Amino acid sequence: MADKKKPYHVQVAERLIEQLEKGTAPWQKPWEPGDPNSMLPWNPITGKRYKGVNVIHLMAQGYSDPRWMTYKQAQSVGAYVRRGEKGTRIQYWKFTETRPVLDENGKPVLDENGKPVKEEVKLERPRVFYATVFNAQQIEGLPPLERKKKEIQWDPIERAERILQASEAKIYHGEIDRAFYRPSTDSIHLPAKDQFPTAAGYYATALHELGHWTGHPSRLNRDLNHPFGSPEYAKEELRAEIASMILGDELGIGYDPGQHAAYVKSWIEVLKNDPLEIFRAAAAAEKIQGYILDLEKEQKKETTFHQDQTVQRDQAVRVVGSEGDAYRLQVPDEIRNLTPGERIGCYVTDGKTLGYAPVRTDGQGNFFIKKEEIQWNRNPNIRLSYHNENGQKYLKMDGEMKGKAYIDKPKPLHELTWEMELKKERFQQKQQEITMERGLER
């Protein structure tokens, strides 16, 4: 009875603290790679996954079946909750509501079919609602759980790699048995791939660090500048850990919390001091997961857009950062596998003039161009201008050399896809020296 008198957030936090102390909190349990979307709680009636703190709270109940529903939803499919079973309370928020559109006289506006026109209105004060749900193991009359295999368009490992590529994050390999994101350089540092026992383990770790990467001021803008051992550091780790768990299920690459056991004591302290922190952490984790998956969606959109525009695209060479006197590059395997003596270069532009720079390597798998080696073409007969036609942004080159460079993303350093048009005589000799052309905007 005492629990019912406690606020909902306190009940949730206290249960998690107890499980953290035992090592059984939802994000402390590993699971092996498998079918995507098979571990997290979901509602078989609506077909939707539970989100936010509800994910954590429902997983904390200890059931092995991920299906949850209300009493009435169970009845709607001819099933029933067993007598004496206790439901689990969940919380959800309503931020908008549907209202009829009114005319100047306060009367409902009707559409061509005579039905009221409605609109979605943002509430000034969001409303909180509670519902009681039951696990499938508490319900009689439901069919056995079938982990239906979705039609997978991409292998989970390939999909994880696509997400990393789409992020354009600066990722370095070579650390000894540690992985981290460094806010000061906005870079991810990982051990060499062959240090990981499985590919799934590598990508699970990389995506965990990508979760931290989303906190940069230019992205989701979380406060990351706190030392190890501080409450704020523990809070950020909690967000990334929950996001990793959700992503692991979404992609089917599994989840291994083992290397983050050092934060348990801090997490317990944080939740004891502020029970609402688990709600904030879970909400932030959903934003992290959404941001990372949106990277993949954006890449698919761009690919589809360029295919529709019949633009011939080669493998990407991208500037992924500036350090000292050089720009670091992300390059495809075709360049990594060049034999000694073969050379590759890329075009650059400062928005006014066109330049060319040879691509160099440090022999450790890192590629770059030196700023001092950029050869700027000061030919006044070659003019560059920016254009935006129906949302399609491109850099246009006119004069003795014609072409268009399609701007993929509005970032300080753009990847540009060149579609050249004739009149290349003046650059013919230089183009014979390279195997790929890219425009890189600074």
Give the pLDDT mean for 370-377.
75
Q: Which residue has the tokens 């036609």?
A: 389
Whole-number percent of the chain with pLDDT over 70: 66
Position 252 scores a pLDDT of: 83
Q: Are 380 and 367 in contact (CB under 8 A)?
A: no
Q: Are 154 and 196 in contact (CB under 8 A)?
A: no
How many other C-beta atoms can be found within 10 angstroms of the C-beta atom of residue 383? 15
In terms of C-beta density within 10 A (0-12 exposed, 13-18 middle, 19 or more buried), how is residue 354 classed? buried
What are the pLDDT digits (tens) for 1-40? 455 578 888 999 999 999 888 888 887 776 565 555 567 8
Task: Identify the CA nearest to 349 among candidates 424, 439, 410.
Answer: 439
Q: Which two tokens stand for residue 381?
A: 């007969």
* Predicted TM-score of the model (pTM): 0.61
Helix ranges (H only) for 172-330 are 199-213, 231-251, 264-273, 277-308
pLDDT, mean over the chain: 75
Give the pLDDT mean for 266-290.
92
User: CA-CA distance, 274 to 251, in Å (whole number)?
Assistant: 32
Task: Identify the CA nearest to 233 among candidates 247, 215, 258.
Answer: 215
Position 280 scores a pLDDT of: 93
Q: Are 402 and 394 in contact (CB under 8 A)?
A: no
CA atoms within 13 A on the CB side of 304: 6
More confident residue, 428 or 135: 135
- pLDDT category of residue 122 using cuts at 50, 70 and 90: confident
Helix (H, G, I), strand (E, B), or coil: what is residue 113? coil
Position 250 scores a pLDDT of: 85
More confident residue, 422 or 86: 86
Domain segments of the chain: what residues?
154-308, 318-441
What are the pLDDT digits (tens) for 159-212? 889 899 889 899 998 887 788 999 988 999 998 888 888 888 889 889 999 999
Beta carbons within 8 Å of 190's beta carbon, 6+ residues apart: 171, 172, 173, 175, 179, 202, 205, 206, 209
In terms of C-beta density within 10 A (0-12 exposed, 13-18 middle, 19 or more buried), how is residue 289 classed? buried
Q: Are 395 and 407 in contact (CB under 8 A)?
A: yes
